Amino acid sequence: MAYIVPELTDYSAQSLLKAFADAKLAFRDEMRAITSEQEWKAFRDRWMARKNGLVTQINDQLKAAPKEAKRELGQHLNGLKQFIEKETNDWHEFVEGGTRDLSVHFQSVDITLPGIRRPIGAEHPVIKTLNEIVSIFRKLGYSVREGPVIETDYYNFEALNFPPDHPARDTQDTLFIAGQESKPLRERLLLRTHTSPVQIRTMENIKPPIRIVIPGKVHRNDPPDASHSPMFHQIEGLAVDTNITFGDLKGTLDHMAKELFGSGVKTQFRPSFFPFTEPSAEMYVSCFICGGSGMRGAEPCRPCKQTGWIEILGCGMVDPNVFEFVKDNGYDPKKVSGFAFGMGVDRMAILKYGVDDIQLFFNGDVRFLQQFG
């Protein structure tokens, strides 16, 4: 028989105890009979509906009670509410709740009952973009190398042809690890500002020819805003062999841009400066959002700042001074040449997915990340 809230006349402690025990038992019996989400919803409404739900009805009784009984009634009611709220909060929690014997609710052998859908994780958009870029290079015969995020001054700067006190170091907004003053400069630790140190680490260990890509985290002392984060990701590339030319660099990076953004994009190389490459360039791709026109209908195109071109990476021919540091492992600058490049993965992901704030990648909001599932 369905439970009905009794009219209380006796407010003694004993009678209150019995009345609430009856309510709990009735609730539990109804709960045990549930076999579907629909039934659970009806059950939830029957007990919890603001207007005339059973809990509301019990609450109304409280109003009619004599003053002396109010405190005790209130306590009982809170206990009951907690008990009920737990079971009527969420269908999935209800089904998965470990506190009750599920076989009472659902015949566990009935394999025709629909399963419970569990959300499956998704690859993070930055990692997805990173993997995509790496796989473009793997198909070209590149292999993957990694290196430490906490790096020494030697690998992050010196061996990349940034001499001590050279102003080019200022461009890197470095986060240094404190308390290292007693060590020689080249041994001092810092958070690597780019993935380029792994160029040197690899050349120290592997003889030419090499073709590698280096994905990883890097840090710079940039305050977080919509387009900056003190931690971000890069992919570095390095190819060294006899007779590698700037033409090889252009062909390789043009291929990557077309694979990543579509075969219709054009690339452009503009002169730039990096201490470890000479000559150096920045590569631009024609804006794949506005098609290079700089306008989206009547609106100015924001990603390319109306220029029709987007800068996506730095690159150049490996500077002979860099080879000097690994000369003994077969990298004689008179015999080998190479190209290197480095790109920001987060920026690529922003462009690819039309995200307007880099912080969304790192603050872990499931509502954002779910969209990439």
CB of 132 to ligand PHE, least distance (A): 19
Output b/e per residue, 41-76; b: 16+ Cβ within 10 A: eebbebbbeeeebbbeebeebeeebeeebeeebeeb
Q: Which is nearer to ligand PHE, 77 or 340 (CB)?
A: 340
* Residue environment code for 289-323, b if the CB has 16+ CB neighbours within 10 A, otherwise e: ebebeeeeeeeebebbeeebbbbbbbbbbbbbebb
Binding residues vs ligand PHE (CB under 6 A): 194, 196, 236, 274, 277, 314-316, 340-342
Closest C-alpha to 341, from 259, 279, 263, 260 = 279
Q: How far is the CB of 228 from ligand PHE (least distance, A)?
A: 14
Residue showing the smallest CB distance to ligand PHE in the complex: 342
Helix, strand, or coil (residue 49): coil
Instruction: Pinpoint the alpha helices (H) of the chain.
Output: 13-32, 37-48, 54-64, 67-88, 91-96, 102-105, 125-139, 153-156, 197-205, 246-261, 320-324, 345-353, 366-369
Contact 273, 308 (CB under 8 A): no
**Cβ-based nearer residue to ligand PHE, 105 or 194:** 194
Q: Which is nearer to ligand PHE, 126 or 315 (CB)?
A: 315
Instruction: Provide the minimum distance between the beta carbon of 158 and ligand PHE in the complex, in angstroms, as a whole number.
Output: 15
Q: 131 or 272, CB closer to ligand PHE?
A: 272
Q: Please report how close the Cβ of residue 236 comes to ligand PHE at its closest, in angstroms.
A: 6
CB of 40 to ligand PHE, least distance (A): 55
Shortest distance, position 254 Cβ to ligand PHE, whole Å: 16
Q: Which is nearer to ligand PHE, 200 or 340 (CB)?
A: 340
In the complex with ligand PHE, the residue whose CB is nearer, 287 or 318, is 318
